Amino acid sequence: CSKDFLDRGALDAVTNESFWETEAQLEQAVNGCYAYLKGKNVVDMEKLADNAIYPPMSDYLAISTGNYDFTLGTLNSEWANQYAGIRRCNHFLENYRKAQGIRDEKMNQFAGEVRFLRAFLYSYLSFFFGDVPLVTNTLNIGDEQVYGPRTPRAQVADFILQQLDSAAAELPVSYDAADLGRITKGAALGWKSRVALFYGKYDVAEAAAKAVMDLNEYHLYTAGGANSYNELFSHKGRLSAGANKETILARLYLIDVATHNMSRECQVPDQTSRFCPTQSLVNTYLCTDGMPIEKSPLYNEGAQQEYADVFENRDPRMAQTILAPGAEWGGKDDGDQDAAPSAIFNLPKFNSDKKGCVTATGYYFTKYVEVSAVGTYNKDQNDIHIMRYAEVLLNYAEAREMQGKLTQADLDMTINLLRDRVGMHHMILSELAAWGLNVREEIRRERRVELALEGQRYFDILRWKQGSLLAEDVKGMKKAFVPGYMQPYVESVPVDADGYMIVNSNRRFVDPKNYLWPIPLTQVQRNPALGQNPGWE
Amino acid sequence: QDFATAGTAMHHVYGYQAQRKQLQTLGEVLQRIEKQHDVSFICRSELLQLKVNTGRQDFRGKAFVPSLLAVIRPYGLKLKQITAQQFAISATGEFKPQEGDNDRNPGNGAALPLLRPGFSALHSAALAGSRWSRIQVRRITGMVRGAGNIPLPGVTVTVKGTGNGTVTDADGRFEINVPGNDAILLFSYVGYLPKEVPVSDQQQVDVVLNEDMRQLNQVVVVGYGTQKKVNLTGAVASVSEKELAGRPITSMSTALQGLLPGLTAINNTGFPGASNATLRIRGTGTTNNSNPFILIDGVPGDLNYLNPADIESVSVLKDAASAAIYGSRAANGVILITTKRGKQNQQPVLSYNGYYGIQQPYAKPKMLGAAEYMEMLNEAQRNVNLPETYTEEDIQKVKDGSDPDFFANTNWPDALYKSYAPQQQHNVSLNGGSRDLTYYLSYGRQNQEGLVTGDNYWAVRNNARVRLNALRLFDIVDIDANLGYIDRTRNQPAGQTDYNSGPIYSSLTMSPLNPVKFTNGTWGYGGGSSNPVAMATDGGYDQFKSQEVTGNVSAKVHIWKNLDFTVQYGTNIINQRNAAFSRKIDYYYPDSGDFWYTNATSNQLAMRDHTGRMENLSTVLNYSFSLQRHNFKALAGYQQETYRYESFYASKQNFPSDEVPVFSLGSDNPNATGDAYQYALRSWFGRLNYDFDEKYLLELNVRYDGSSRYAPDRRYGTFPSASAGWRFTQENFIKNSSVTRWLSEGKLRASYGSLGNQYGADGVAYSEWYPYLEVLTGVSTMPIGQELTRGMAQTTLANPLLRWEKVNMLNLGIDLAFFKNRLTFSGDWFDKRTKDIQLKVPQPDVLGLQVPDQNAGEVSNKGWELSLGWTDQVNEVSYGFTTQLSDVRNKMLNLGGAPPVLDERILQVGYPIDAFYGYRTDGLAQESDFTKDPSTGRLTPNFPIFDADKGKVAPGDLKYRDLNGDGIITADKDREVIGDAFPRYTYSFRGQLGWKNLDFSFFIQGVGKGNGYINSIGLHTFQAFGSYPQEVHRDRWTPENTDAWYPRFTYLDSRNTTARQSDYWLQNAAYLRLKNIQLGYTLPARWTSRLRIQQLRMYVSADNLFTKTDYFYAYDPETIITNGGTYPQVKTFVFGLNINFK
């Protein structure tokens, strides 16, 4: 009958008191925080905007159409997930200094990684919801802060930027292979440029982007020759393959350990593609002469006879992003007359006979598709690139332009590097002026093209205050290009005045309401002090 | 009656006292005395065969005469001394004419009158043709049987008015001497109604006794002991093996359904080897673990996998007073299971009972054919402005079967289910004992096959049990050793069977256009969902094996008169392993043979190994004494329990052969994890029973409990209770009144007490087992350095303030018996209040961790239970019924100030726990509910809608009701409680009828009120991928069919479905079910006795034969929440055999 008979402690856990002692423990705690680094979800967010669509109802489509309310599940899961990650980071930052005798360099790295992750999570929270409670310490039940009000968005933004500065100071520029995937100084600076751009702090964005460029650590991926842009998003471009010096921040995957379903979703060979490129995205690509389709002599809409014509004479990134006739694909039977599987894509498929991948818009993505991963559900181990050097270059150019400081030299050290990689005509200020094009618009176009299917378009639309774009009907290819034998399957699809299929309509975007998400019902119910965003009350 | 309780009753519950009673023939007794004392006896030879009960007499003392007299006198015998060494034994009155004997006080051993010589000595046999033969003492033989014509051993047979008596032997046979021609034989037996049989001149009297269904006189197992039912002051329900016999029961929890008022068993699956019956005693008392505390022979255990044939009795302790002795564990009520033990002084009896039968699915979804599906899909897409998928030409392909690979017409549930599957069970037991040692050995095997093609569903269970009782060891100790072993295996397809995965679910997600197999013989496929038949057949297996040893040994030391001490050690060791081997299924294009799809990158073996060890030690001191008519019983005890669970999991991929899944052959992705937890409990308890003349009854209990779940300063809780009873029929004013002509027994009961519960809300191990500790555990993270990486993090907040959950319960009850106990009635009313519920009060998510349990809630359960029984016999027909009705109203009283959880199942003060919460609806919108724009033809609804639905609402959509009248439907302002999932008014009716060798019984059971909700593809079509239309969907809204049940089809848009929970989709889960019907026939003993067969009964039985309900046709009304992926409930038909050999 010993007194400690009832002392039955944990058998599969370590108490907080006995943790935080060794370097290995700290590293494990840091690793725990990486669980909240966003992954394929980043790409899915492409469906919030006007680059890609999957027409049947889904949460992201509901948000993009504006037809949703505060009960939508995604709202609450985004809220709860980011705060769960923030709590984990706060717990680390409050405790890690208890460990003794660890090299400063390592301590700084750990702190920098976690600080970055916390700032990263707050970025999404503030992008989505605007004002959010700023919690920088671990909370307990009964703490006043649990039921506290929201912190103004500007204050949250300042916190994020300040934390990213600290992280940049603490983090190393690079790691050994064993630490592949960890947050670097470049990631902190690059992310800072993205956040600063979002909040209109162009000088900050410019400086941060320039700081990344000056690290001289990152270079555009060119190992794939002319096809490098596409290859970056394939297995060859994975960070672990060694050739990629472009990606600054990625969520890593590993076959049968952590996988996603990206390739299959793009070209699923017996259903409808979950990512159908929109006509709006297709129309964004310049012609090879550097002129938009409305102006380029290389593009004569009236003269186009068939589907393949749309891909003629376009920015090479178009065919490396959107599946062009003649390209290899994993979707099996395409829309050609026979019903036999084919490794080469020719025509879009509209009939759901399970023999091949169907598209709602007439287009498919090839970017992010690893053909070998299409045949199996959820067995894709491609990196999800959250931030790459190309974006930093774009951030720099945009920040310069917004401050009215853009020079041709700026373009040459940024956007024209991107164009060089694919062999595209340079962006030349004088030319743009001569063609009557708006520089700002062209820089934005460049961003949309370069970063298509990387989950950034929605946030760009928000910060450019172009919400009205989301209220427009979503369109697909010209119905007339659908071959006669396939016509019965698009018969019921309405078309616009120019003959383009209308894939999604009845959309709305209310300014300013739709620039922010509503605070989720669950959270409002649990803490009425949160209030609600304008228009959502 | 006294005889029954004192006789060599087979009911071990009398414990020690009963077992000392000895049944011997008079001849044996006399022989023993002759040897010991060098004397001789003479008597009539037939008297030597008379069975007498020697009680505690051992005749060793010099004065054996008073002892012998005491033994024989109840049988109407006298003892006379003839010489110093010679005695004569005769029936009373035999000597009257000669001697004028007036042995009025034989018990005092006074001088015995000398008997004149002339009797034969004991060894010289009978006095044939002596003058004694004219005396009218006749020998009558006979047999006593009980229900089902089972011979009853140990029945007391007495001649009314004489005290002459005997007891039936192991075969139910008896012999008795009856004086005169108009004697009346009185038969009595514990648990049976006594019976009087007048004897005229027959030599053979065969009797059938009726079970005393009301069991007022029975002894009931209560916490740490037994109690006569008449003396119970708490609310205790019990059943014995008789109620359980003969039914094809796969698990005990299922068997208890409807048998015990106040115990609700919800059983909704026919899954082989599963025991999904949820047991609730008096409702759901807490938001947490509401499972009753189950003790098997005094040791905590799991009743589901016990062999039902091994069970002797089940008691359910419902109120606080009865359960309080188990204080800490008893908040949800207690179920006490007593297993069988060997019978004393019985030759070995070998019993076989078994059955073989078939199972059929209770119901399955009726899917529509491919052509109709295609037309409906087009309609569903058209309705939401999406392009139609199929052309007329495509539909024609299905109709003419011209493209069987891509335009097939498959009914997937039909393809997956077999029409029936066998099920069988066989039990063999051996039972018997001597005076000092009894044994019970049993072995049972149950084999259940599944209803799914591919034969990957099956379960086998082997149960073995050995129970040995050594009595009177060193004259003071009784030892009870009980060892049980369960070995069971449950197999299912590798994908398991979940409500939203596995082949059963997938059969609803597979397009009818896909064939089971392509024309070239390979597995059919069509995208979107894996072929469920392929999964069930070739997908590999998931096999769960469990070996469980339960052992308990107890020693009862009879320290002093009425003082005994019991120490019991019990352990339960569980070894379980789940091995899942999933095979890669590749699908190929039927025409080209090209690879199409595969479900995995390679085959995979995953094993999880669990071990658990529970150890329980208890000591109990019992003392009882009487002061005149004041009877006291006192009990004090100590108990401790420890439990330790450990598991590890390993997996590997890529095995070269699907036939040899062994880890050493796998090459990729080795992975291993594991976890463990432990707990300990320590308790002291005491009980005091007092009664005055069995008329005024009082019981007091207290338990002091400690649990390792709480911080050291909060570990202990005290749980007291009191109960009282008044047997008003014992009062003279009733006894002496005419009321007794119809009222045989009456008792009022009242109890109040406090119970505890240590179990919190379900969660990860550490939040359950040491919630007061702040800990970090392994968490998954992203691969770093191209390696699988694990991290450490805190995932749940700790709560060092957590303490016991407390239940206070008031119980009032009445027990009545009428017409010589043939009609019985029992009623109880209770008010149960659970306080300090360990509740995960939802917090704003800025907290960032899973919330810990807090002592926050308060729940009230008020209810009542009624049961009424009748049993009687008219000539050769015995019949009876028992009916029960009970109700519990559950209500959340307090949530600790936390805001209500407004989800589809809510927690809100004033409402039942987990009540259905949703919108109110006004049916389907018709065109008249819209305003039509004459120019564009656009329809604008004239009723409130959701803002998110703007522009989409059309005729045929559900009309939601604007509860707050603000003109718009919103989730925060227009929802309310729409239904209660907990069954109300549960009832049962059980009837039985016996005529000669035939027996018939039926059992009806049901729920009077309740709600269910079928979600997603279980009920809907076109609301998600792979949700295909069922026959009922023909009745959807179209402009031509405006009076429809189902809203218009809206492809992949769930506005009108259960995704928005509303009263429109709430199911009425009330039902009435013929749970079991059974007909048995016992072969006449004269046919079978030569084969040493004591009894041979054959029966046919059917379970779930008939159900009347308004529930959705495809699922069982006890499945109140489903997505359609649950294994179906089954109907069973069996043929069974019970044989006893001796």
Phi, psi of B727 (to 5 degrees): -90, 90
pLDDT at position B950, please?
85
Mean pLDDT of A212-239: 95
Q: How far is B148 from chain A (nearest CA, A)?
A: 51
pLDDT at position B562, please?
85
- A263 found inside a domain: no
**What is the distance between the alpha carbons of residues B107 and B961, in angstroms, rounded to a whole number?**
88
How many beta-carbon pairs below 8 A join chains A and B?
A: 296
Q: What is the CATH number of domain B137-208?
A: 2.60.40.4130
pLDDT digits (tens, 9 = 90+) for B657-678: 988 999 999 988 888 888 899 9
Q: How far is B697 from chain A (nearest CA, A)?
A: 36
Query: Residue B1033: helix, strand or coil by DSSP?
Result: helix
Taking an 8 Å cut-off on Cβ atoms, the answer to whether B792 and A28 are in contact is yes
Mean pLDDT of A224-234: 95
**What is the distance between the alpha carbons of residues B158 and B168, in angstroms, rounded to a whole number?**
11
Distance of CA B233 to the CA centre of its chain: 24
A431: pLDDT strictly greater than 90: yes
| Chain B residues touching A88 at Cβ < 8 A | 793-794, 848
Mean pLDDT of A240-248: 94
List the structure tokens of B56.
């505690």
pLDDT at position B191, please?
65
pLDDT digits (tens, 9 = 90+) for A366-400: 999 999 999 888 889 999 999 999 999 999 999 99
pLDDT band at B119 (very low <50, low <70, confident <90, very high): very low
- A524 found inside a domain: yes
| Chain A residues touching B713 at Cβ < 8 A | none
- In DSSP notation, B825-881 reads EEEEEEEEEEEEEEE-----GGG-SBPPPEEEEEEEEEEEEEEEEEEEEETTEEEEE
Sign of CA dihedral A281, A283, A288, A289: negative
| Chain A residues touching B792 at Cβ < 8 A | 14, 19, 25, 28-29, 31-32
Mean pLDDT of A237-254: 95
Residue of B nearest to A147 (CA): B844
Taking an 8 Å cut-off on Cβ atoms, the answer to whether A526 and B391 are in contact is no
Share above pLDDT 70 across residues of chain A, in percent, rounded to a whole number: 100
pLDDT at position B106, please?
37
B414 to chain A, any CB pair closer than 8 A? The answer is no
Start-to-end CA distance of chain B, whole Å, equals 29
List the structure tokens of B154.
């140990």
B553: pLDDT strictly greater than 60: yes
A152: pLDDT strictly greater than 90: yes
pLDDT, averaged across chain B:
83
Of A318, A321, A319, A355, nearest in space to A335 by CA: A355
List beta partners, residue B89: B43, B79
B695: pLDDT strictly greater than 60: yes
What number is the ipTM of this complex? 0.92
B782, B802, B838, B1020: which to substitute to probe chain A, counting the most A Cβ within 10 Å? Answer: B782
CATH class, range B358-758+804-841+857-916+983-1141: mainly beta
- A457 found inside a domain: no
Residue of B nearest to A241 (CA): B786
- The CB-side HSE value for A532 (13 A sphere, CA atoms) comes to 17
Taking an 8 Å cut-off on Cβ atoms, the answer to whether A341 and B791 are in contact is no
- A531 found inside a domain: yes
| Chain B residues touching A39 at Cβ < 8 A | 782
Taking an 8 Å cut-off on Cβ atoms, the answer to whether B601 and A79 are in contact is no
Q: Which residues contact A4 (CB under 8 A, 6 or more apart)?
A: none
- Number of domain units in chain A: 1
Say which amino acid occupies A315: D
Phi, psi of B1070 (to 5 degrees): -70, 145
Measured from the Cβ of residue B72, the count of other Cβ atoms closer than 10 Å reads 22
B764 to chain A, any CB pair closer than 8 A? The answer is no
CATH, residue A406: 1.25.40.390
Mean pLDDT of B707-734: 90
Residue reference for tokens 């002592």: B855
| Chain B residues touching A137 at Cβ < 8 A | none
Mean pLDDT of B129-152: 64
Taking an 8 Å cut-off on Cβ atoms, the answer to whether B775 and A16 are in contact is yes
Distance of CA B117 to the CA centre of its chain: 66
Cβ contact B566:B626 at 8 Å: no
Q: How far is A51 from chain B (nearest CA, A)?
A: 19
pLDDT band at B766 (very low <50, low <70, confident <90, very high): low
Mean pLDDT of B535-539: 91
pLDDT at position B760, please?
65
B75 to chain A, any CB pair closer than 8 A? The answer is no
- In DSSP notation, B651-704 reads EEE--S-SS---GGG--EEEEEEEEEEEEEEEEEEEEEEEEETTTEEEEEEEEE
Query: Residue A29: helix, strand or coil by DSSP?
Result: helix
Phi, psi of B1014 (to 5 degrees): -105, 125
B940 to chain A, any CB pair closer than 8 A? The answer is no
pLDDT digits (tens, 9 = 90+) for B262-293: 777 777 677 887 766 778 777 666 666 677 88
Mean pLDDT of B953-960: 94
Share above pLDDT 70 across residues of chain B, in percent, rounded to a whole number: 88
Residues A27, A33, A36, CA angle at the centre, nearest 5°? 150
The H or E element containing residue B810 is strand B805-818
Taking an 8 Å cut-off on Cβ atoms, the answer to whether B786 and A505 are in contact is no
Domain ranges of chain B: 2-133, 137-208, 358-758+804-841+857-916+983-1141, 759-799, 921-973
Taking an 8 Å cut-off on Cβ atoms, the answer to whether A180 and B715 are in contact is no
pLDDT, averaged across chain A:
94
Of B528, B598, B790, the CB nearest to A376: B598
pLDDT digits (tens, 9 = 90+) for B789-821: 889 999 989 988 888 888 898 999 999 989 888
Letter string b/e over residues A445-468, b meaning 16 or more CB atoms within 10 A of that residue's CB = bbbbbbbbbbbbbbbbbbeeeebe
pLDDT digits (tens, 9 = 90+) for B25-35: 777 778 778 77
Taking an 8 Å cut-off on Cβ atoms, the answer to whether B653 and A28 are in contact is no
Q: Which residues 683-742 on chain B approach chain A with CB closer than 8 angstroms? A: 706-708, 712, 715
Which of A120-129, A334-343, A401-410 is the least confident region? A334-343
List the structure tokens of B783.
């691969």
Structural domain of A91: 18-42+69-225+232-241+386-431+511-537
pLDDT at position B274, please?
74
